[in-house]
Amino acid sequence: MSMQKCPKCGELFSDTYRTCPFCEEEEAIAEGRHIKRRSGGRRMAQKDPSPVGPVLIIILILVACVLVYFFFGDSIREKMGFGSSSTPESSQVDDVTPQPPDIPEPDGSGAGSSSSGSSSGTVTMPEGGGSSSAAGGGGQTPMPSGTAITLSSEDFSFNAGESVKLTATGGTGKYTWSSDDDGIASVNASGIVTAISAGNCTITVTDGTSTATCVARVRKTPSSGGTTAPAQSLSLSSTDFTTSVGEKVTLKVNGTSDAVSWASKNSGIATVSGGVVTAVSSGTTTVTATVGGQTLECIVRVK
């Protein structure tokens, strides 16, 4: 038995059939007849391809890719040179805006601190700086006080009735003068010391912060008569003093009423006339007083 192909419908059927059973079946169906099938005449039906198979294959491939990426993704990225996609902690920059420190509000207990204690009062600021309270000034640092005060002389001698002008430098420039014994020597607001009676006293100058002192020694009034006392009793009212350019200091010879001849060894630094020494420029010189054949010297320091 062999198979042959129908030239009309193209179906294969057994050679035991004289005619194509498939064509007969179609004709019978068309005419409404029923025919008896025989072996060897079954149609080999052609089926349309099903999409289920390819879809399942695609799903399996995707699942396999996901599993491979999940287990071997990091290794694959490293081998391909992409590195880690996460940013290292060291390269992360916190976007934090710095906040100013909290400054506590002053309470009521500090309101009066600017007027208490020895450091209270107003400190003079440099030019353009205004002034601020030395204590309790809202956190401002008080300005330092001025430099130390220096006097033109720290120790001098003169006679009752005579006057010597002291010059102060440094500090704030606002000076207050005082004597610890006005019965021996007094001092006015300009620093002029006047001898009252024999004895020693201390002259003090202060600007409220710095203080300087000078010892004033008042001798007994020499006896009158117009004669020169013995040489050993003659002395100058000051033998060493410091002054400033333009200042005048009066020197006197104690122990005589005779005429005194005055001279300056360097008139470019200081000149002298009638015992009045005038400071001309900075430096040190010596003023001499000659009387009765004796010469007395006084060192003058001009700042």
How far apart CA 157 and CA 236 sit, in angstroms, is 8
Give residue 257's pLDDT: 82
- Domain ranges (residues) in the chain: 150-219, 235-302
**What b/e sequence results for 166-200 when a residue is b if at least 16 CB atoms lie within 10 Å of its CB, and e otherwise?**
bbbbebeeebebebebeebbbbeeebebbbbeebe
Closest Cα partner for 296 from 255, 266, 268, 267? 255
Q: What would the CATH number be for the domain defined by 150-219?
A: 2.60.40.1080
Q: What would the mean pLDDT of 92-105 be, rounded to a whole number?
A: 56
Indicate the pLDDT class of residue 263, thresholds 50, 70 and 90: very high
pLDDT tens digit string along 207-244?
989 999 999 999 876 544 444 444 447 889 999 999 99
Assign 180 a pLDDT band (cuts: 50, 70, 90): very high
Burial 126-163 (b: 16+ CB within 10 A, else e): eeeeeebbbbbeeeeebeeebeebbbbbeebbbbbebb
Neighbouring-strand partners of residue 185: 195
**Where residue 37 falls among pLDDT bands split at 50, 70, 90?**
low
Give the Cα separation of 48 and 58 in Å (integer).
Answer: 20
Rounded CA Rg of the chain: 63
What is the model's pTM? 0.31
Taking the C-alpha atoms of residue 140 and residue 134, their distance in angstroms, rounded to an integer, is: 8
* Residue 206 pLDDT > 90: yes
> How far is the CA of 148 from the CAs of 211, 213, 216, 246, 255, in angstroms?
7, 12, 21, 22, 36
Pick the CATH number of 235-302 from 2.40.160.60, 2.60.40.1080, 2.60.40.1120, 3.40.630.10: 2.60.40.1080
Comparing 208 with 112, the larger pLDDT belongs to 208
Per-residue confidence (pLDDT) for residue 227, from 0 to 100: 45
What is residue 228's predicted lDDT score, i.e. its pLDDT?
44
Q: Do the beta carbons of residue 11 and residue 44 sit within 8 Å?
A: yes
- 33-65 b/e (C-beta count within 10 Å ≥ 16 → b): eeeeeeeebeeeeeeeeeeeeeeeeeeeeeeee
Burial class (CB in 10 A: 0-12, 13-18, 19+), 250: middle
Instruction: Output the furthest CA–CA distance in the chain (Å, rounded).
Output: 193
Q: Which of 97-106, 125-134, 228-237, 292-301 has the lowest mean pLDDT?
A: 125-134
